[in-house]
Amino acid sequence: MHDSDSSQEKESGENRGSFTGKLGFVLAAAASAVGLGNLWRFPYLTSHYGGGAFLVVYVALAVTFGFTLLIAEVSLGRRTGKSCIDAFRDLSKKYSFIGWLLAIIPILIVPYYCVIGGWVLKYFVESATGNLETLATGGSGGDPYWWDYITGTATGSVLDPSIWFVIFAVMCIIIINLGVSRGIEKVSKILMPMLLVMLLIVTAFTFTLDGIGDGLAFYLVPKFEDLSYDTFLGAVSQIFYSMSLAMGIMITYGSYMKKDVNIEHSARNIGLIDTGVAFIAGLMIVPAAFCFGFQDSSGMGLMFNALPMVFHQMPMGEIVAPVFFLLVVFAALTSAMSLAETAVSIFKDRMHVSRPIAVGIVSAIILGLGLVCCLGFGPWMTNVPGDQGAGWLGIFDTLTNSILMPIAAILTCFFIGFVVKTALIEEEIEINGVFRSKKLFRVMIKYVCPLCLLAILISGMYGTFFA
């Protein structure tokens, strides 16, 4: 092995290095968890599914359902010291296919994640070069600018969004190829708190908007008549997305965790940071969007539609907007890298190819499928099953979040609850003291989680193939 290879191995943690301690683990996992899921996906789902009612369901599920799966994955990783495929194979050869299923998911998510990363990058550059007004008010024919942009109406083709996607993807590929994930981790320790401060500043400004009281009430006061089966399904799928669950990431991170770190405390902190950032992002976007009449209808464009309007009206918005979008780029990049890195290590370990070849394969997949997503808003716009108005990007989102992730998570729950048994996880957690949520964990992992997951799987399949 070349020297550079071995240093890359070290950088990516593949020498089974470990996080420096509890803080190192929690911050690294939080940097993977906090991403577009919190800043882009959570606010639009909250808006779409009735504001306060969705928020309450989400938080209740995060502390029960999300916490259970997070603890299970991290413990599985630390117990075996292996990443997802080998972790399952080590415990039972017969069930190693679950590891494979988990491994496919990040490979399908990274491409479309980079497409959205490209949009954020574009918004950063436009706002930094004095074009905030266009972003805020430049839409035509009643559509917001974002829609005109991604469908190519604004510029005549989808070339521009495709270029920004490629730039974002190449940034991600260069970084994982250099193996600087530890550098990025260090940087994320500085930029993550900055993101939080920016979120709070922008949120404070939105509180001064006219009519914000009604928006805040929409976000914070649950109207239980808004609760529906869909609210629940949306919340469960968002928990996977936001906490980076059911795709092998947390198993791999658990395998890098030292034996003297308390898994239960760490999982609680990761969940708290992730849910806290989502809550503040919602507080920043949902009430403001409500003021501008964006609730319900604008779906995945909510962040791109509402925020430029807020910045446009805000004193010093011309400065705040680019700084804010840059930090979102950063949050997206650290998460995209954790997804891409997981994909690279899978190809490397399982196909026994060198790291550069594995990076090459992952790059080709990202660029190929990502371009399909870009074209899916333009010439390839189509009403295929599961499209739901979001083109191929929406199909990849639904396929992973509503179908593959629930299947992988049901199998993981079954594996832990009935094959290796919960005692295996409990023992691992009890290495560092009492497992306080043991009873909750047992009931959740054996019965409640699989049932919730089955519900979202059935509805995801129905929505994709029959609706």
Name the residues that contact ligand PFF, by CB under 6 A: 33, 35-38, 109, 113, 241-242, 244, 247, 335, 339
**Considering beta carbons, is residue 257 or 281 the nearer one to ligand PFF?**
281
Q: How far is the CB of 393 from ligand PFF (least distance, A)?
A: 13
**Considering beta carbons, is residue 70 or 91 the nearer one to ligand PFF?**
70
Q: Give exposure, 371-381, as e/b (b: 16+ Cβ within 10 Å).
A: bbbbbbbbeee
Q: How far is the CB of 10 from ligand PFF (least distance, A)?
A: 24
**Considering beta carbons, is residue 33 or 98 the nearer one to ligand PFF?**
33
Q: CA 192 from chain center: how many Å?
A: 15
Q: How far is the CB of 116 from ligand PFF (least distance, A)?
A: 9
Q: Which distant-in-sequence residues (6+ apart) come within 8 Å of 278 by Cβ?
A: 37, 38, 42, 58, 242
Q: How far is the CB of 55 from ligand PFF (least distance, A)?
A: 17
Give the DSSP letter of residue 203. H
Q: For 323, phi and psi rounded to 5 degrees?
A: -60, -45
**Considering beta carbons, is residue 106 or 287 the nearer one to ligand PFF?**
106
Q: What DSSP assignment string belongs to 395-409?
A: HHHHIIIIIIHHHHH
- Taking the C-alpha atoms of residue 370 and residue 339, their distance in angstroms, rounded to an integer, is 14
Query: Do the beta carbons of residue 370 and residue 363 sit within 8 Å?
Result: no
Q: Which two tokens stand for residue 16?
A: 């089974």
**Considering beta carbons, is residue 253 or 311 the nearer one to ligand PFF?**
253
**Considering beta carbons, is residue 113 or 149 the nearer one to ligand PFF?**
113
Q: How far is the CB of 238 from ligand PFF (least distance, A)?
A: 9
Which residue from 220, 247, 210, 238 is spatially nearest to 61, judged by alpha carbons? 238
Sign of the C-alpha dihedral computed for residues 198, 199, 204 and 209 taken in this order: positive
Q: Which two tokens stand for residue 364?
A: 């080709």
Counting Cα atoms < 13 Å in the Cβ hemisphere of 61 gives: 22
Q: Which residue has the tokens 């409640």?
A: 448
Residue number of the CB closest to ligand PFF reads 37
Q: How far is the CB of 454 from ligand PFF (least distance, A)?
A: 20
Q: How far is the CB of 410 from ligand PFF (least distance, A)?
A: 17
Q: How far is the CB of 42 from ligand PFF (least distance, A)?
A: 8
Q: How far is the CB of 186 from ligand PFF (least distance, A)?
A: 19
- Taking the C-alpha atoms of residue 249 and residue 73, their distance in angstroms, rounded to an integer, is 9
Q: Which two tokens stand for residue 224?
A: 């239980």
Q: For 89, phi and psi rounded to 5 degrees?
A: -65, -35
| Angle formed at CA 61 by CA 458 and CA 191, multiple of 5 degrees | 115
**Considering beta carbons, is residue 29 or 283 the nearer one to ligand PFF?**
29
First to last CA, the chain: 52
**Considering beta carbons, is residue 339 or 362 the nearer one to ligand PFF?**
339
Q: CA 299 from chain center: how many Å?
A: 17
Q: How far is the CB of 106 from ligand PFF (least distance, A)?
A: 7
**Considering beta carbons, is residue 32 or 305 the nearer one to ligand PFF?**
32
Q: How much of the chain is in helix, strand and coil states, percent to nearest 5?
A: 80, 0, 20
Q: Which distant-in-sequence residues (6+ apart) come within 8 Å of 463 by Cβ?
A: 386, 388, 398, 402
**Considering beta carbons, is residue 109 or 236 the nearer one to ligand PFF?**
109
